[in-house]
Structures are given as C-alpha cells and as structure tokens.
C-alpha cells in the first residue's frame, strides 16, 4: 500500500473519530499532526513524521482532560475499534492517536 493511501485512511479515521466524539457531547482540539524531521522533540521514529499520528486534546463539559478519565478510555476504545488504530493511552501519551499496519499484541482497553 502506498504511504499516501495509509495517510488517507488515517485521516478518514480521524474524521470518523471527531464525529463520534461530537455525538457524545465532547470536543477535541488539535495538536501535532505532522512533525518535521528537524523538530527537536519526540521520537525520531514517530509516526507523526509519516503523517500517521495526531495529538488530540479532549474536552468534557468544557474541561480539558489532562489525565486518563473514563471519557478518554471511551475515546481510545472507539479509536482502537478501527483497523490498525492504536491509542497513546497504552504508552502514557493520552492525546496520541496513530495508524500503522504493524501487528500489536495489546490487550483490549
């Protein structure tokens, strides 16, 4: 599969997640999507560098969720219900959502 095909699927999944979140009365704001190779923070192998990861900030009742909450887990489970999607809740980066064709051995959230 072409990299651009993966990026397209990823963005469609992000769109689906945004609409799903909105139907629950929550809100999201955007963080990093693309991280240029000259960026001095983050992992050099980050999927942000391939445009296959995004950071999204969750707001519930107008309050920014800065730690894992029931709502964050709900959003993460929804994201991971889509093929090849993995949430940063698994590795202590709760705002992170990524797409990869890698095989994960994670337990369900």
Which domains are present in the chain? 3-34+46-99 (3.30.1380.10)
Of residues 103, 93, 104, the one with CA closest to residue 53: 93
- What mean pLDDT comes out for the span 25-47? 86
pLDDT given at position 101: 82
Whether the predicted pLDDT of 6 surpasses 90: yes
Q: CB 22: neighbour CB atoms within 10 A?
A: 11
What percent of the chain is modeled with pLDDT above 70?
Answer: 99
Contact yes or no for 30/55 (Cβ under 8 A)? yes
Interval 49-73 mean pLDDT:
94
What is the arithmetic mean of pLDDT over 15-19? Answer: 98
pTM, entire model: 0.90
């Amino acid at each position: 599969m072409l990299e651009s095909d993966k990026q397209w699927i990823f963005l469609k999944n992000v769109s689906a997640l945004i609409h799903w979140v909105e139907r629950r009365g929550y809100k999201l704001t955007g963080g990093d999507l693309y991280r240029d190779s000259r960026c001095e923070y983050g992992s050099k192998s980050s999927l942000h560098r391939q445009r296959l990861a995004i950071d999204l900030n969750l707001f519930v009742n107008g309050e920014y969720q800065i730690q894992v909450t029931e709502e964050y887990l709900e959003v993460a489970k929804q994201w991971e219900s889509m093929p090849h999607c993995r949430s940063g809740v698994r590795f202590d980066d709760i705002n992170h959502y990524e797409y990869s064709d890698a095989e994960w051995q994670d337990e369900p959230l």
